[in-house]
Amino acid sequence: MNPVAKEFVSARDDEKGVLLLSEFTGAAHELGDALSINPHASEDCARTLAEALTMPVGEQASRMRSMRTVVGHANAFRWAANILADAIAVHAAKHGRSEFGRSAATNRAVASI
pLDDT tens readout for residues 6-50: 899 989 989 999 999 999 998 888 899 999 999 999 999 999 999
What is the rounded CA–CA span in Å between residue 71 and residue 6? 6
pTM: 0.67
What is the rounded CA–CA span in Å between residue 31 and residue 3? 12
Q: How many CB atoms neighbour CB 85 within 10 A?
A: 17
Tell me the β-bridge partners of 22. 37
For 46-105, the pLDDT digits (tens) are 999 999 999 999 999 999 999 999 988 877 787 888 888 888 888 888 877 655 555 666
Tell me the β-bridge partners of 21. 36
Residue 91: the pLDDT is: 82
Q: How many CB atoms neighbour CB 104 within 10 A?
A: 7
What is the rounded CA–CA span in Å between residue 14 and residue 8? 12
